[in-house]
Amino acid sequence: MAVSSSAWELPLVAVCQVTSTPDKKQNFITCAELIREAARLGACLAFLPEAFDFIARDPEETLHLSEPLGGNLLGEYTQLARECGLWLSLGGFHERGQDWEQTQKIYNCHVILNNKGSVVATYRKTHLCDVEIPGQGPMHESNSTIPGPSLESPVSTPAGKIGLAICYDMRFPELSLALVQAGAEILTYPSAFGSVTGPAHWEVLLRARAIESQCYVVAAAQCGRHHEKRASYGHSMVVDPWGTVVARCSEGPGLCLARIDLSYLRRLRQHLPVFQHRRPELYGHLGHPLS
């Protein structure tokens, strides 16, 4: 479907692709360079992938490197958001929560910072990736991570209302349906997809979530080899509500840019009013609206 709004009037978002390692300092330097580039290019919001802070070699190292939200690393991103005047989607921070002393486990936390550096939303990943894919190696996220207790209501940003999710959450359409019924216009799936599931499922799932929810989908991804034990698929992208990939990162670290056209989204929902046509009396409410 054609986009008719004047492009220069539309908010610009930047999607950052990185290769995190266990070196937190170097990871921040890399992310900060991309964020500053996004600001220079005129973006109002920059999206970082899951595990932008680090990707460790094992659960013990993950726990050792983790920090609370009030720690030094989030403080650096707070200053960076203020410096650049940019909203930030920090797509998966290894968070020591208030229950750290009792549990000795962390949360996978998606943090939204506004352009003043204030935390305006946090979502803790609700679906943990405990899978064994032949050829990709086992993933047991629950060894170090606690599932989040709830979804987060969509947050208003200069680009639109953003519904927060993380990586494996994209396999659960109930979550996206709940977010769109709560007002989401953009769904975010910051990720670190594997080398086997990536080619098979990554783009298909993102486009499906966009089409069924009639939302923009923004997916910042990890790419390349993080260390000797792990690699990620990359292919960060933005998908429009029609299911068209409108921006895509090339191989390796970098960023891509996309305009968010909410008038187009509203026209599409008017022309194809699927949410008015749902029959919950037949199959129940798939994705209850958030309270």
The residues annotated with a catalytic role in the active site are: 50, 125, 167
The residues, any chain, with a CB within 8 Å of residue 254's CB and separated by 6 or more, are 16, 17, 34
3-state secondary structure string across the chain: CCCCCCHHHCCEEEEEEECCCCCHHHHHHHHHHHHHHHHHCCCCEEEECCCCCCCCCCHHHHHHHCECCCCHHHHHHHHHHHHHCCEEEEEEEEECCCCHHHHCCEEEEEEEECCCCCEEEEEECCCCCEEEECCCEEEEHHHCECCCCCCCCCEEECCEEEEECCHHHHHCHHHHHHHHHCCCCEEECCECCCCCHHHHHHHHHHHHHHHHHCCEEEECEEEEEEECCEEEECCCEEECCCCCEEEECCCCCEEEEEECCHHHHHHHHHHCCHHHCCCHHHHCCCCCCCC
Q: Cβ–Cβ contacts within 10 Å for residue 103, how many?
A: 12
Q: Are 224 and 214 contacting, i.e. CB atoms less than 8 angstroms apart?
A: no
